[in-house]
Each structure stands twice: as C-alpha cells, then as structure tokens.
Amino acid sequence: WVSTIAALSDQDRSTLAELGLSDLKARELLGERDAFRRVSRTPKRELARIEAQMRPLIAALDYFESGLLRARMAIYR
C-alpha cells in the first residue's frame, strides 16, 4: 500500500488527501515492526501483535484501492 501510494501521481495523492486518506497509519505500524525487530530479543509475540493490527488495515486499504481503481475507470469511460 505504501509503495502504491508513493507511485501515484501528485493529483491522485491530493485526491486521497481530500478524501481524508493517508498512508500514515501503515507507515507507523511498519516503523514499529522494524524498530521492534532491531531491539527485541524475543520479537515473535510482539511482531505477531503488530501484524495482527495491520491485517484489517491492509484489507481495508485493498478494498479502497479496488474502489479507487473502479472509480478511475468509470471516470475515464
């Protein structure tokens, strides 16, 4: 999702911002996961907790992305 957002044009990113959407939460969770991997001696349980938090977010982002694609296709028709 983060790389998908980064690859969007400035206009598409501004549209997402106008809709109140952002990749901030995904970036925060990924940052927590990576930081925890670097400092923890027993990261498996905490990593599983963070990844469990990310699953609904990723599912929602996938759903939004497919809706955005459908809307974009409808606009261009």
pLDDT digits (tens, 9 = 90+) for 57-74: 888 888 888 888 888 888
- How many CB atoms neighbour CB 27 within 10 A? 13
20: three-class secondary structure by DSSP: coil
Q: What mean pLDDT, rounded, does the chain reach?
A: 77
Residue carrying the six token digits 């599983």: 48
Which phi and psi angles does 22 have, rounded to 5°?
Answer: -155, 160
pLDDT digits (tens, 9 = 90+) for 47-61: 778 888 888 888 888
Residues 43, 46: Cα–Cα separation, whole Å: 5
DSSP string, 1-14: -HHHHHHS-HHHHH
Residue carrying the six token digits 């599912």: 59
Q: Model's pTM, two decimal places?
A: 0.42
**Does the pLDDT at position 24 exceed 70?**
yes
